[in-house]
Amino acid sequence: MIFIITLMFLSCSQETTPDDSQSNLLPFTISSSAFNQGEYIPVKYTCDGENISPSLNIVNIPAKTKNLALIMEDPDAPRGNWMHWLVVNINTNTTQISENGVPYNAFQGMNSGGRNQYDGPCPPSGTHRYFFRLYALDSDVSLDKLDESRFKAAIADHIIAETEFYGIYGR
């Protein structure tokens, strides 16, 4: 009888801690509250509106991530891929990027228009896809003049995980 009571006491008093391996099973994702995957990007976030960046939500950043990098690009541009936005050294505590915001201490690189800022969708004609790609990196990105080609070369060997979502916009 004492043995059974002791077993009951021990089983009730054991601490349980969350299994860290379970958090790795959840997908690393980026999304926006402004529009859903594959939907039209509201005019507000385009060159036909206020030309400001939408709010973005980041979920389940991989455990060994040192920082994040974000790009927004249009693979349907007439002259090939067009980068609309490039942000690096985003802190791993970041779970949301505010509308028209850049995370504290993050750095904006040069987009295809030659500006260090967000340039919203602005297709010459037709409907284009705009991909928001988020990279989990194992190191910082430190380049003086950061543009698309230098960025992609700098992160190539440092990507732990990546995720994306896209919206469309047409004129």
* Global confidence as pTM: 0.83
Domain 28-170, what architecture? Alpha-Beta Complex (3.90)
Residue 144's pLDDT band, with cuts at 50, 70 and 90, is low
33-86 pLDDT tens trace: 999 999 999 999 999 999 999 999 999 999 999 999 999 999 999 999 999 999
Q: Which residue ranges make up each domain of the chain? A: 28-170
Task: Say how far apart CA 39 and CA 34 lie, in whole Å.
Answer: 10
String of b and e for 44-54 (b: at least 16 CB within 10 Å)?
ebbeeeebebb
Per-residue pLDDT at 6: 41
Whether the predicted pLDDT of 24 surpasses 80: no
81-123 pLDDT tens trace: 999 999 999 999 999 999 999 999 998 989 999 999 999 999 9
Q: What stretches of 14-136 show up as alpha helix (H) in DSSP? A: 20-23
Per-residue pLDDT at 143: 64
Residue 149's pLDDT band, with cuts at 50, 70 and 90, is confident
Whether the predicted pLDDT of 18 surpasses 50: no
